[in-house]
A and B are shown apart, each in its own frame.
Chain A
Amino acid sequence: MRDTVTTSAPESVLDVISDLLVEKFEVPSEEVRASAPMSDLLIDSLMIVEMAIAVHETLGVKVGEDELRAATLAQFAASVDERLTDR
Chain B
Amino acid sequence: MIRRPEAVVTGLGLVTAAGCDRDSTWSAVRAGRSTAAPDPLLHGLPVTLSCRVPEPDHPVLRRRGAARLDPVDRFGLVAAAQALEQAALDPREWDGSRVAVVTGGGVGGVRTQDEALARLGEQGPEFVSPYFLPGYLINMTCANIALRFGVTGPALATSTACASGTTALGLARDLLATGQCDIALVCGAEAAVTRLMVTGFSQLGALSDTGSRPFDATRDGFVIAEGAGALVLERPGHAAARAARPLARLIGHAASTDAHHLVAPHPEGRGAEQAVRAALADAGVGPEDVGHVNAHGTSTRQNDAIEAAVLRRVFPDRPPVTSAKGALGHTLGASGAIEAALTVLALAEGVVPPTAGLAATAPGTDIDVVAGTAREHAAQVAVSNSFGFGGHNAVAVLARP
Contact = CB atoms under 8 A, between A and B. Distances in A.
B67 interface: yes
B131 A50 contact: yes
A56 to B, nearest CB: 7
A27 B67 CA distance: 12
B65 A53 contact: no
A25 B130 CA distance: 13
B129 interface: yes
A49 B127 contact: no
Contact of A26 (B67, B130, B131): B67
A15 interface: no
A57 interface: yes
- Report the contact-size class of chain A (Cβ under 8 Å from the partner): 10 to 19
Contacts of B123: 57
A46 B132 CA distance: 10
Interface in A23-51: 24-27, 45-46, 49-50
B126 A46 contact: no
Contact of A50 (B64, B67, B130): B130
Interface in A6-27: 24-27
A26 B65 contact: yes
A26 to B, nearest CB: 5
A46 B127 contact: no
Contacts of B390: none
Contact of A27 (B64, B66, B130, B131): B64
B350 interface: no
A53 B127 contact: yes
B134 interface: yes
B126 A56 contact: yes
Contact of A46 (B64, B66, B67, B134): B134
A56 B134 CA distance: 22
A11 B369 CA distance: 63
Nearest to B64: A26
Contacts of B126: 53, 56
Nearest to A27: B64
22 contacts: A24-B68, A25-B64, A26-B64, A26-B65, A26-B66, A26-B67, A27-B64, A45-B130, A46-B130, A46-B131, A46-B134, A49-B130, A50-B129, A50-B130, A50-B131, A53-B126, A53-B127, A53-B129, A56-B126, A56-B127, A57-B123, A57-B127
Give the top 3 A-B pairs by smallest Cβ distance, nearest first.
Answer: A49-B130, A46-B130, A26-B64
Given A26-B65, A26-B66, A56-B126, 5 more contacts: A49-B130, A50-B129, A50-B131, A53-B126, A53-B129
Interface of A: 24-27, 45-46, 49-50, 53, 56-57
Interface of B: 64-68, 123, 126-127, 129-131, 134
